[in-house]
Amino acid sequence: MTLLKKITGFGTAALLAFGLAACNSDDAKNDDEQTSGTKTTAGDSVDHTITGIDPGSGHMELTARALKEYDLTDWNLTSGSGAAMTAALKRAYDKEEPIIITAWSPHWMFLKFDLKYLEDPKLVYGDSEEIHSITRMGMKDDFPEAYTIFQRFNWDIEDMSEIMVAIEDGVKPEEAAQTWIDDNQDKVAEWTDGVANVDGDTLKLVYAPWDSEIASHNMMKLVLEDKGYKVELSMVEPGPMFSAIADGSADATFAAWLPITHKTYLDKFDGKFEDVGINMVNVKQGLAVPTYMEDINSIDDLKK
């Protein structure tokens, strides 16, 4: 214990006794808190804040709903971008600090960090989902070769993850996608078998600003270009993504998460696009924390 100035009337022994008494008092207070069970709550540990992503995403809409369903009225949901969220996760993870994030898989963060989803007993986020390929109305007639490829397109979480991790490690998206294509010629051949080449027809693909969709659309761009298409990629928020497909200003996307994540847009633009098929199954979303946060395992735990 350090005193910054001399206190008149106290001798050395008196000062030492005073300091020891103060320290013992603090220790007793801490012991009393531990004995009484007082401890930092989940909310206090993260300042009652969930670190989110882009505000237009279906995931953020569901998270806002989860705060209501679980009566987490004193919690805040911050918005930003997927990159900002993962940057915040890395900072916290490196210091083993608490953090709660909006999460989805496939995503490279589940390969880079030890994370766990919080249980969702009310199923606000639903069960596992699917990623669908959807096109504008009439695309089948305009680009039958591409349409056939879209119908056949199906891959695994592990496939997408290879591209995502490479991109996160600094490889350019097209280079990462090309490496995956080179290593998986058999799968690509299943999508393109018997499909005739075209001569420079332009296809416009749109996708949400998520690492998973960056991977899938850069990969499919190369597959289509190999068949003779000129492919234009546009990264937009989910709302404009569905709107572009519905009004015909874009041809297709492989980024429709159904039936929960994009339900709002599914209902809004019902009948204005064609669902070509499922390109990935068993995808998931929810809230996640690092596994070192051992006392938090369910969204219900956030109320404690």
Asked if 210 and 58 touch (Cβ cutoff 8 Å), the reply is no
Largest CA distance in the chain: 99
| Chain-centroid distance, C-alpha 8 | 62
Query: What pTM was estimated for this model as a whole?
Result: 0.79
> What values do phi and psi take at 163, rounded to 5?
-70, -45
Domains of the chain: 42-127+287-303 (3.40.190.100), 129-283 (3.10.105.10)
Would the pLDDT of 165 be above 70? yes
Q: Tell me what pLDDT residue 39 has.
A: 60
Q: Which tokens sit at 94? A: 């490196």
pLDDT in tens, 207-259: 998 899 999 999 999 999 999 999 999 999 999 999 999 999 999 999 999 99
Q: Mean of the pLDDT values across residues 93-100? A: 97
Share of the chain above pLDDT 90, in %: 78
Would the pLDDT of 4 be above 60? no
Share of the chain above pLDDT 70, in %: 87
Q: Tell me what pLDDT residue 206 has.
A: 98
Burial 69-91, CB ≥16 within 10 A → b, else e: ebebeebebebeebeebbeebee
Which residue carries 């009004």 as its tokens?
247
Asked if 136 and 271 touch (Cβ cutoff 8 Å), the reply is no
More confident position, 25 or 135: 135
Which residue carries 């989940």 as its tokens?
42
Confidence of residue 38 (pLDDT cuts 50, 70, 90): low
Q: 254: helix, coil or strand?
A: strand
* H or E element, residue 30: helix 12-36
